[in-house]
Amino acid sequence: MQSPTKLPTIPPGTSFQWQLKGTIDTSYPARVYDIDLFDAPAATIAALKTAGHVVICYFSAGTYENWRTDRTLFPTSVRGNTLDEFPDEQWLDVRQTTILQPIMLSRITLAKNKSCDGVEFDNVDGYTNDSGFTITVNDQLKYNQWLADTAHSLSLLTILKNCLSLAEQLVAWYDVLLLEQCVQYKECDSAAPFIKAGKAVFDVEYVDKKAAFAATCDTAAKTGVDAQVKNLTLDAPRMMCRSDYTDQISTPVGNGTGGGDTGGTSGTGTGGTGKGGWGTRRYGAVDGVFSVGLAVLGAVFVVRFGAEVWR
């Protein structure tokens, strides 16, 4: 379904900032901000939009999260196996649309009411996981297409999260593809349908060494993917692969340190990061020990490789 109003175009080469945890640092000059639908204050969204940012609001459309405000709407019949490494989440039976569609419509409407420009749908690849249900490719396609059609009907951009196996079938429905670790898992080439369609492909990697960062950026650049390195928690800090974006906001809101971040040179990437090891494809899998290690490593790498690339 086409949007009733013209939506912003998000082509390859668009700058982005993805933050799902902590107080939103609004000082990054990225054109696109992707933040949590439930946690982001409406005032923050309004401030970002006034500054000229495109604001995407994240929620999980394929899992039950036991801390969300609408958690009581999900009966046990639609909740399946627990996600690996995420004990507070369960896969949803996307075949049960009479139950799930009203809930997801309410969330998409919330995004509209909070003045988000678009929505990011996470965990929409349950058919490839041990969900506890017999979900087919067709089941997943119908559900993912319905999500996009519903968002477009409300004049919202649609961001497909991971789900590379359905990229070719879903490129007509989705405006942007957001990936995690496509370089690490050697999957970036599978994003080609979006690149060929003139749609941005954002990638976030979790690497721990200067050499790995440079190689990651080189690989991403060759496939047309816009990549950056972030903490597993998906808080504000990031390290950019590129420093030559031409679409960045000249006067960001400015409630943090992100306004001065830079990255690699013309997509090739130089510099280091304080990350502590390869991660898993989701946010939040960080314990106290890791966080302490990250702080220590971050301090070391800032001294050795320069603070300008890690903000």
Which of 135, 196, 144, 198 has its CA nearest to residue 166? 144
Q: What is the dihedral of CA 125, 130, 134, 138, to 10 degrees?
A: 20
pLDDT of residue 276: 29
pLDDT per position as a tens digit, 237-296: 999 999 999 999 988 877 776 654 645 533 333 333 232 233 344 433 332 322 333 333
pLDDT of residue 124: 98
Residue reference for tokens 């087919």: 136
pLDDT of residue 1: 72
Distance CA(33)–CA(53), nearest Å, equals 7
* CA 271 from centre of chain: 23
pLDDT per position as a tens digit, 147-174: 999 999 999 999 999 999 999 999 999 9
- Whether 95 shows a pLDDT value over 50: the answer reads yes
Q: Which domains does the chain have, with CATH numbers?
A: 16-309 (3.20.20.70)
Residue that wins the pLDDT comparison between 121 and 253: 121
Distance CA(146)–CA(136), nearest Å, equals 16
- Whether 41 shows a pLDDT value over 90: the answer reads yes
pLDDT of residue 4: 79
| Mean pLDDT of the region 229-243 | 94
- Whether 309 shows a pLDDT value over 90: the answer reads no
- Whether 223 shows a pLDDT value over 70: the answer reads yes
Question: What's the mean pLDDT when you consider all of the chain?
Answer: 85
pLDDT of residue 113: 98
Percent of all residues in the chain with a pLDDT value above 70, rounded to a whole number: 82
- Whether 10 shows a pLDDT value over 70: the answer reads yes
| Mean pLDDT of the region 52-79 | 98
Look at phi and psi of residue 132 and say left if phi exceeds 0, alpha if psi is from -120 to 50, else beta.
left
- Whether 61 shows a pLDDT value over 80: the answer reads yes
| Mean pLDDT of the region 31-53 | 98
pLDDT per position as a tens digit, 131-144: 999 999 999 999 99
| Rg of the chain on CA atoms, in Å | 19
Cα maximum dimension of the chain: 56
Q: What is the dihedral of CA 287, 293, 298, 301, to 10 degrees?
A: -140
pLDDT of residue 264: 53
